[in-house]
């Protein structure tokens, strides 16, 4: 299948590591030019180097996406280098604590919402005018099944991602007339750096054996009996950005191994 992505331009937030980096490499393999966004300059440099080592083209797009003025500056920089932005992947997120809601700090909740929800809205606000002018664009938001079915110890994170789900559906209705597709990818458990850090902390708290038993219990909740990998998410992002996916918009695609089969 010809995805017709060669020479497109993709801005991917939070792509200095983990799922974002994997998405960047997957796009680059299709000939897409990559703008690597993160707050971590070291991570950006590593992703840019990885894309270039694989024969792709990448540039740094460092900024704090909670700062709208900085986001506008970043978008202008990318457009000056590449001429346009065809694909925006809103991937950046933070999960500060894995605690019951009443144990969380209000300031941590505030930060999670700013990065996940406002960050997504800021980047979309800055990129959409160019897409509208060119009458073409793809916006992909990375959410979570925790926001769709509920997840204890992730109330703040889930609430922020739930806002992104609503935003995805609403903005898709506004910009569809401009030939712009807006969709979200909703992973279940995925072996990202965020999840690996949670597992590390779990092992410290309850020990290696109990942590391993818990992990096996988690896998049994998935029809495919496996936890997702970053490339499972990346493959979905590449497809939703492609020409064969041109008639898909306003959708929340669960990539979750059958954890939750939502209608």
For tokens 């300031």, name the residue: 107
Strands (E), 161-230: 180-187
For tokens 């898909």, name the residue: 248
For the beta carbon of residue 163, count every other beta carbon within 10 angstroms. Answer: 18
For tokens 């597709």, name the residue: 181
Return phi, psi of residue 193, to 5°. -55, -35
Q: Could you tell me which residues are beta bridge partners of residue 255?
A: 187
For tokens 């309850």, name the residue: 206
Report helix angle 155-175 to 106-113, nearest 10.
20
For the beta carbon of residue 99, count every other beta carbon within 10 angstroms. Answer: 15
The b-or-e profile of 105-133 (16+ CB within 10 A means b, else e) is eeebbebbbbbbbbbbbbbbebbbebbbe
Q: Considering 82, 118, 157, 222, which one is annotated as catalytic?
A: 157
Return the DSSP state at 245: G
Beta strands 33-36; 58-60: pairing state:
parallel
User: Could you confirm whether 222 is annotated as catalytic?
Assistant: no
Give the 3-state secondary structure of residue 37: coil
Task: Tell me the catalytic residues.
Answer: 157
């Amino acid at each position: 299948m010809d995805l017709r992505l060669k020479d497109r331009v993709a801005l991917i937030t939070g792509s200095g590591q983990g799922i974002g980096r994997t998405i960047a490499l997957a796009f680059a393999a299709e000939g897409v030019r990559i703008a690597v966004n993160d707050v971590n300059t070291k991570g950006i440099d590593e992703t840019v180097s990885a894309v270039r080592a694989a024969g792709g083209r990448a540039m740094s797009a460092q900024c704090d996406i909670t700062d709208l003025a900085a986001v506008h500056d970043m978008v202008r920089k990318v457009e000056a280098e590449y001429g346009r932005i065809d694909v925006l992947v809103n991937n950046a997120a933070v999960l500060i604590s894995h605690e019951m809601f009443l144990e969380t700090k209000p300031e941590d909740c505030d930060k999670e919402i700013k990065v996940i929800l406002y960050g997504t809205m800021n980047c979309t606000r800055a990129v959409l005018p160019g897409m509208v002018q060119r009458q073409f664009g793809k916006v992909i938001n990375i959410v979570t099944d925790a926001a769709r079915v509920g997840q204890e110890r992730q109330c703040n994170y889930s609430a922020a991602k739930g806002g992104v789900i609503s935003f995805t559906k609403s903005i898709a209705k506004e910009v569809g007339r401009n030939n712009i597709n807006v969709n979200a990818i909703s992973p279940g458990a995925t072996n990202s750096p965020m999840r690996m850090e949670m597992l590390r902390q779990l092992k410290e708290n309850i020990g290696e054996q109990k942590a391993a038993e818990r992990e096996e219990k988690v896998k049994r909740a998935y029809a495919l009996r496996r936890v997702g990998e970053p490339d499972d998410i990346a493959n979905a992002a590449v497809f939703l950005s492609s020409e064969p996916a041109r008639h898909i918009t306003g959708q929340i695609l669960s990539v979750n191994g059958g954890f939750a089969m939502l209608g």
